[in-house]
Amino acid sequence: MARRLITILIGRKILFLATAQGTDMPTWQPSGEDLATSLSYQLEPLAPYTDNFLVLDGIDNIAALQGDSQGVPANGGHEGVGCTLTGTPGRLVDGLLVANGASVDEIIARGLQQRAIQAGSVGAPIPALRIGFPKNPATRPLPDAPGSSSTVGSFFWLEPHVSAPVHWGPWYAYQALFADLSGDPEALDRLRAERRSVLDAVTAEIGRVRKELPDEDRDRMDAHLDGIRALEQGLDQLVDCSPPEVGESPTSNIGNWNSGPNDDLIVRTTFQVIAQALTCGMTDVACYMMRGQEGVADALRYDPLYADKYSDDEGLDLHSLAHRMPAGNPDLEATPEERTFARQAMADLGQWRTHRFKRDFLDILPPEVRDELLVVSLSEMSEGGTHSNYNIPLTIFQGDGIQHFQTGRALQFGGFDVFENFRPSDDPGKPITQLLVSLCHAMGLHDIDSVGDSAYPSGPLTEVEL
Q: What's the CATH code of the domain at 16?
A: 3.40.720
pLDDT recorded at residue 290: 86
Q: How is 376-387 classified by DSSP, letter by letter?
A: EEEES-SBTTTT
Identify the three-state secondary structure at position 215: helix
CB-neighbour burial class of residue 41 (10 A; exposed 0-12, middle 13-18, buried 19+): middle
Per-position b or e across 106-125, b if 16+ CB within 10 A of its CB:
bbbbbbbbeebeeeeeebbe
- 412-436 tens-digit pLDDT: 999 888 777 778 878 889 999 999 9
pLDDT, one tens digit per residue, over 62-102 is: 999 987 888 887 878 888 999 999 999 988 888 778 889 99
The predicted structure's pLDDT at residue 98:
84
Q: Strands of 366-444 (E only): list them.
A: 373-379, 392-398, 409-412, 430-431
**Distance, CA of 389 to CA of 83 (rounded, Å):** 10
Say what percent of the chain tops pLDDT 90.
45
Element (H, E) at 219: helix 215-234
Give the closest residue to 414 by CA, choosing from 18, 166, 30, 58.
58
Q: Is residue 192 part of a domain?
A: no
Count of Cβ atoms closer than 10 Å to residue 256 Cβ: 12
314-348 pLDDT, tens per residue? 556 667 777 778 766 666 677 888 888 888 988 99
State the CB neighbour count (10 A cutoff) for residue 424. Answer: 10
The rounded distance, in Å, linking the Cα atoms of 2 and 27 is 45
DSSP label at 135?
P
Residue 140 has a pLDDT of 43
**Residue 245 belongs to a domain:** yes
Structural domains of the chain, count: 1
**Exposed/middle/buried for residue 454 (C-beta within 10 Å: 0-12, 13-18, 19+):** exposed
Q: pLDDT at position 139, please? A: 40
Task: Give a yes or no: residue 197 inside a domain.
Answer: no
CA dist., res. 447 & res. 359, Å (int): 36
- Whole-number Cα distances in Å, 216 to 1, 24, 133, 229: 56, 53, 54, 22
pTM of this structure: 0.85
Question: What confidence score (pLDDT) does residue 79 get?
Answer: 85
Whether 214 is covered by a domain: the verdict is no
Domain membership of residue 231 (yes or no) is no
* Angle (nearest 5°) at CA 376 between 237 and 352: 100
Q: What is the pLDDT of residue 42?
A: 97
Identify whether 196 is part of a domain. Answer: no
Alpha helices in 235-259 (DSSP H): none
Which regions of the chain are under pLDDT 70? 1-10, 134-151, 180-211, 216-240, 251-260, 292-297, 312-318, 327-332
- 190 in a structural domain: no
- Domain extent for 364: 5-185+241-464
Residue among 2, 456, 389, 370 at smallest CA distance from 185: 2
22 inside domain = yes
